[in-house]
Amino acid sequence: MLSLFCFVCKEFLIEPKLLALLEPLETNEKSLIKLDAIFRALKIENEEDIKIMAKYFIDHIQLGSQTTKTYVSSGTGPEYEQETEVFFVSN
């Protein structure tokens, strides 16, 4: 799932200069650095935030566009749901 996420988001969440610098690296190294850049852009800072993001995408795929859940995390406690279609992680 993270590989797909990395592939989809690279066009708008990773600087073109960084993508150019990654070219000579092996695939696994590229993926790790891309994910780090994406997580920084989205302000994903810990494992809990990654789980919230994964749950959001899994629910979105399973329910299609019918979903109205939003997973919100303060970064200090469990996530909770809101009645919107926006994914939000705050510090």
Give residue-wise pLDDT tens across range 44-85: 999 999 898 888 878 877 776 554 555 566 555 555 555 544
Q: Which residue has the tokens 């850049």?
A: 37
Could you give the strand order of the β-sheet that contains 69-73, starting from the edge strand earlier in sequence? Answer: 80-83, 69-73, 88-89
The ranges assigned to domains in the chain are 2-41, 47-89
**Which residue type does 38 have?**
I
**Sequence-separated (6 or more) residues with CB below 8 Å from residue 86:** 70
Which parts of the chain are beta strand (E)? 69-73, 80-83, 88-89
User: Residue 48 has what pLDDT?
Assistant: 93
- The enclosing H or E element of 11 equals helix 2-13
* 32-55 confidence digits (pLDDT tens): 999 899 889 889 999 999 898 888
> What are the structure tokens assigned to 27, written together?
């695939």
Tally the residues of the chain.
91
